[in-house]
Amino acid sequence: MKPQLSNATLYLMSVSAGLVVANLYYNQPLLHQISESFGISDSAVSNVALATQLGYAFGLLFIIPLGDMVSNKKILQYDFLLMIISLLAAAVSNSLFLLITSSFFIGLTSTLPQLFVPMAAELSDDNGRGRAIGIVMSGLLIGILGSRVISGLVGEQFGWRVMYYVAAGMMLLLFILLRFKLPKITPKYQGNYVDLIKSLWFYFKTEPSLRLAALRGALGFAGLSAFWTTLVFLMEDSFGYGSGVTGTFGLVGIVGALAATVVGKMSNRVSGNKIIFFSSILLIISWGIFLFSTYSLVGLIIGVILVDLGLQALHIINQNIIFSKNPEARNRVNTVYMVAFFMGGALGTTLGAMAWEYYGWIGVSALGGVFSIGVLAVHVFAKHKTP
């Protein structure tokens, strides 16, 4: 008999998802400080964010499938140990190479929230699944956005290294709490690890809805990653603001993140096609606003609200679609989806840095617009395949 999902457990997973995923994004408002610390270009320091996202993609690919095979408590134990070591290594880094390497392992080990989302789906009934996913995703998304606020303020007041020390301390406390409060789930998969990983291709090959969700998510997140990677440079150049002000834009995005719970509830009543369509339109509109906001804080604020709302609505409906099938392999289908999602983020980070270097904010805005139009195009031309 599977454990029951109480509200206390659900909100514990939501908060935990936010705190862990925040490790991925602490570096973004600090990139300018880091570049000055090591005496390197803005383009070179963007590799810190890129390494973190690539590490996350690798963690999704090789760690999260274990959720269908190994007890969640055992994964938690080893993952947190390596995560804390990686955060401390980043804090003491004396070269860009060491910081990039540490960032890769921070990303690799910060995949735990992607165990919580399938867990919430597993412990919920069909009617409550959308709500449970929405609540966990709200915590995760608020963590993504709030991390930039925290790191921007801490970095401006105490320096970028202190942020990594603080993160390591928070992860130690969180591990102790989860060790005693998180329900233990023992999966039923009986095969070996190699077969487990091979089965990822099977689900990707046989599930058109999973492939489409992965492509939509990748394109949407590519645009958002291009925005957050280059925003700190725009704020310095156009407004003369430091990492503290850049980080506070995360507070604006939280308005959109709170909508994740609402979208989760709506997903049981409103057509997924409609939610996807309107989400992609919001993304396109947001990038149109960004295009004309090189020197407008009001425009940037409105754009942040819309781009986060659009992507989060898209993300929630994507996950509700993929979790509606294959209950025995929810961690694996989530792996396929999230690997594509964060590989899209890595692509957006790389192309965003290049667009900024050669074409400035107009180039970044045009790039984000192209990604968003791509989301709409995928939906329109493959609409008949979307459940």
Q: Any idea what the CATH number is for the domain that residue 310 is in?
A: 1.20.1250.20
Is the Cβ–Cβ distance between 117 and 10 less than 8 Å? no
What is the model's pLDDT at position 67? 87
What is the model's pLDDT at position 238? 85
Q: Give the mean pLDDT of 128-143.
A: 78
Residue 313 lies inside a defined structural domain of this protein: yes
Is the Cβ–Cβ distance between 208 and 385 less than 8 Å? yes
**Rounded to an integer, what distance in angstroms lies between the CA atom of residue 354 and that of residue 145?**
23
Of residues 165 and 68, more confidence is placed in 165
Residue 238 lies inside a defined structural domain of this protein: yes
Query: Which amino acid would we find at residue 233?
Result: F
Q: Is the pLDDT of residue 109 over 90?
A: yes
Residue 49 lies inside a defined structural domain of this protein: yes
Q: Count Cβ atoms within 10 A of the Cβ of residue 173 and give its class: 0-12 exposed, 13-18 middle, 19 or more buried.
A: exposed
> How many CB atoms within 10 Å of residue 273?
15
What is the model's pLDDT at position 49? 87
Domain span at residue 359? 15-182+207-385
Considering only CA atoms, which of 38, 60, 53 is closest in space to residue 352? 53
Residue 56 lies inside a defined structural domain of this protein: yes
Of residues 101 and 57, more confidence is placed in 101
Residue 194 lies inside a defined structural domain of this protein: no
Residue 172 lies inside a defined structural domain of this protein: yes
pLDDT, one tens digit per residue, over 272-281 is 788 899 999 9
- Give me the number of domains the chain comprises: 1
